[in-house]
Amino acid sequence: MTRVDPVRSDIAAMKPSGITLISRGRGDRPGLIPLWYGESDLPTPDFIRAAAKRALDDGMTFYTPARGVPRLREAIRDWHRRRTNADIDLERITVPGSAMLAVTHSVQCLVRTGDEVIVIAPMWSNIFQSIEVAGGVPRLVWLRRGQGGPWRLDMNELIDAMNARTKAVFLASPSNPTGWVMSLAEQRVLLNACRSRGIGIIADEVYGPIVYDGSPHAPTFATLADPDDAVFIVNSFSKTWAMTGWRIGWMIHPRRLGEALGVVSVSSNTGATSFVQAGAIAAIEQGDPFVALQLERCRRNRAQLAEFVASHQRLSWAEPPGGFYGYVAIDGVDDSMAFAEMLFHNANVGVAPGMAFGPRDYADNDRYVRICIAYDPDKFSEALRRFGKVL
């Protein structure tokens, strides 16, 4: 009897990301300084944990509305008014669970099998995988970095990449891993190009408050998109409020999809965890001082990394205007995974290999490693000392 395997071959063939490969099973090594993850080493602040504990003690353990409890959605609206100067209709705000789930839902709203999604790269590897799981095809447009200059996006190249199969453009601003920030003028050009072609935009803005020019938030599509534009903005409590393990984020979406996204949320996880939402309310309503602390910590480590790069002829980078990573190129390296392995074994420092942020056939990525700068400044300094010794 002939057996036919019903499992999708593209799913069965999926491999872990480079960050997973370098870090898997290694987190408990004594003395390790793990700068490979996208998270601070600070635990979630006490006032956030206390709010979630109170919710548990008060019996907040039942189902909640699939799009998030009303008070949390209202708090998110108020935060945007305060932080981004955008007044967003509550019907456009959904809290599905994690920000990654918001990405998944955004892709599901726009992409059918065989559709293309333009991704501005280098980009966090989960994005490529979420597109492929939906049956879509990522098509990359690369940021470029001139000698000693910042990362830049060629808007003409981006628009020229659009074709009849393009259904969405995915971008992260501030970027993971480069720290590139898309200007409001660039956002306006992209929005107009997508409107005229019937193409959606998925904007990852989870690092929005982590910018170094004194602004309260990076430029955001929330100030440009009309209520029913096909624009999906993804945000998260993970980075800004040190809540990576809580798996809670939100999305801003076309107003007409409010009811539909409630149905989509029910079909995936029936909504965000009840008592976690109580912690999220505390974070977004009371957490501005903690955000400022996080930002100052990152600013200090960014300065340390700038001095470190300047002191080693083999290193180069573009100082990031946002986010909490340094994306550092190393002359003479053409296999970033091998370098990351060597650094782990010889220096007990974990970094993310550049090959994790795009296909390996784009060789320039393999010159880079990503270093998280949201870490304890003294430990970060020690990590750089060890890194320099290896160099």
For the beta carbon of residue 334, count every other beta carbon within 10 angstroms: 11
Average pLDDT over residues 97-105: 96
Q: How many CA atoms are closer than 13 Å to the CA of 294, on its beta-carbon side?
A: 29
Every domain of the chain with CATH number 3.40.640.10 lies at 46-286
Q: How many CA atoms are closer than 13 Å to the CA of 6, on its beta-carbon side?
A: 0
The beta strands (E) that lie in the chain are given as 33-34, 93-97, 116-121, 137-142, 144-145, 151-152, 166-172, 200-204, 231-236, 249-252, 315-316, 325-330, 349-350, 352-353, 368-372
Q: What is the CA angle 52-55-56, rounded to 5? A: 90
Does pLDDT of 363 surpass 70?
no
Q: What is the CA angle 231-71-207, rounded to 5? A: 45
Every domain of the chain with CATH number 3.90.1150.10 lies at 9-44+289-390
Q: Average the pLDDT over each of 11-20, 213-222, 327-336 and give the range with the smallest value.
A: 11-20
> Across all residues in the chain, what is the average pLDDT?
95
CATH superfamily membership of 9-44+289-390: Aspartate Aminotransferase, domain 1 (3.90.1150.10)
Cα Rg for the chain, rounded, in angstroms? 21
According to DSSP, residue 372 is labeled E
CATH number (3.30.930.10, 3.40.190.10, 3.40.640.10, 3.40.50.11810) of 46-286 reads 3.40.640.10
Q: Average the pLDDT over each of 121-135, 192-206, 283-297, 368-382 and give the range with the smallest value.
A: 121-135
Does pLDDT of 112 surpass 70?
yes
Does pLDDT of 359 surpass 80?
no
Q: What is the pLDDT of residues 262-318, one digit of tens each?
A: 999 999 999 999 999 999 999 999 999 999 999 999 999 999 999 999 999 999 999
What are 234's two structure tokens?
A: 């993804």
Average pLDDT over residues 62-71: 96
- Looking at residue 125, its pLDDT comes to 85
Contact 357, 129 (CB under 8 A): no
Could you tell me what percent of the chain has a pLDDT over 90? 88
- Looking at residue 335, its pLDDT comes to 94
What is the reported pTM? 0.96
